[in-house]
């Protein structure tokens, strides 16, 4: 296995003892999820993308049992085998998920989920394991004795997961899980971006409790990379006209400062020291190092001020809760 000679610096992931690069490669697109990302990804391309993530300067890769019904994990597992194993110190994260057909999310499903994930990945343990989208099920059910949270804590105790986290979108519910004190890491998505700052209270709470914070979907599903001409969707749904207009204003501000919109979208998150790592999805091998380049693009302070003015004018009602 050949690893990059130029590994990115790392940040502590809360109190987990893990150190993670400011960027994490997101494994959802490489598994092929055309409903979310607008294109199919052939297996060979997905595997090559995962292999590029394992061999590049970014030292973290995120996936889930729920991504393309496990296909993301299968492709990452194939890449791990081609790489000769998971690189030392590499932060691979996956997520236990509800049954995608029935919606059931109990303790038995949680154990099935991690067992199947480890089989697909070809591993016997993972550095980081999340509870995925618990807002889709009843809080009391997820928290009941022997339920998914108890299973996660047991997996951590037995070393199958070094650290455990909660990952989801709906902020009020994710905050309830954070306040239990059972988790090491919180992952939020689509709620801490150039146009949506609603996750700030959650980020502050998690930081004050010593949790690591991971931020995902800084492109809002693609529009904050491609722009409002190429896409009309934010957070996987049609964006209202007011939000599209704000994004067009951001594109213009970025052009004025000769900065790619995608670079500003990434660095809005990576420049925040409360954020241990920012997840950037990739569906082609070249996207991995392209993300690194965007994360290191010089951005003048004046652009941040211009973008803040535009964000302040966005009606929060147009954004996901």
Predicted confidence (pLDDT) per residue in 182-238, tens digit: 999 999 999 999 999 999 999 999 999 999 999 999 999 999 999 999 999 999 899
* pLDDT tens-digit readout, 53-95: 999 999 999 999 999 999 999 999 999 999 999 999 999 999 9
Region of 188 please: left (phi>0), alpha (psi -120 to 50) or beta. Answer: beta
Under a CB-based contact definition with an 8 Å cutoff, are residues 237 and 310 in contact? no
Distance CA 143, CA 305 (A): 42
**Mean of the pLDDT values across residues 101-105?**
97
Closest C-alpha among 22, 141, 120, 111 to residue 64 = 120
**CATH class held by domain 11-237+261-298:** alpha beta
Q: Domain extents for the chain?
A: 11-237+261-298
Region of 70 please: left (phi>0), alpha (psi -120 to 50) or beta. Answer: left
Supply the pTM of this predicted model. 0.95
């Amino acid at each position: 296995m050949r690893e990059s000679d130029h590994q990115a610096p790392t940040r502590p992931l809360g109190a987990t003892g893990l150190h993670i690069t400011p960027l994490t490669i997101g494994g959802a697109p490489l598994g092929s999820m055309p409903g979310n990302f607008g294109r199919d990804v052939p297996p060979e391309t997905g595997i090559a993308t995962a292999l590029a993530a394992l061999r590049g300067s970014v030292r973290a890769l995120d996936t889930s049992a729920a991504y393309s019904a496990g296909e993301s994990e299968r492709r990452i597992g194939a890449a791990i085998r081609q790489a000769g194993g998971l690189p030392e110190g590499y932060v691979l994260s996956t997520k236990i998920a509800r049954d995608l057909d029935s919606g059931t999310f109990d303790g038995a499903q949680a154990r099935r989920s991690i067992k199947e994930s480890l089989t697909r990945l070809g591993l016997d343990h993972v550095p980081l394991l999340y509870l995925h989208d618990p807002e889709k099920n009843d809080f009391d059910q997820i928290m009941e004795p022997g339920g998914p949270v108890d299973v996660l804590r047991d997996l951590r105790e037995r070393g199958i997961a070094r650290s455990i986290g909660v990952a989801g979108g709906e902020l009020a519910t994710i905050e309830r899980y954070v306040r239990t004190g059972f988790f090491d890491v919180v992952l939020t998505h689509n709620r801490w971006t150039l146009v949506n700052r609603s996750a700030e209270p959650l980020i502050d709470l998690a930081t004050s409790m010593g949790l690591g914070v991971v931020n995902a979907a800084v492109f809002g599903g693609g529009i904050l990379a491609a722009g409002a001409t190429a896409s009309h969707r934010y957070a996987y749904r049609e964006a209202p006209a007011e939000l599209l207009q704000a994004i067009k204003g951001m594109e213009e501000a970025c052009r004025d400062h000769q900065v790619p919109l995608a670079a500003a979208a990434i660095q809005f998150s990576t420049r925040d020291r409360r954020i241990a790592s920012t997840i950037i999805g990739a569906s082609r091998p070249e996207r991995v190092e392209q993300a690194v380049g965007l994360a290191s693009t010089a951005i003048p302070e004046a652009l941040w001020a211009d973008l803040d003015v535009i964000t302040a004018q966005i009606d929060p009602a147009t954004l996901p809760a």
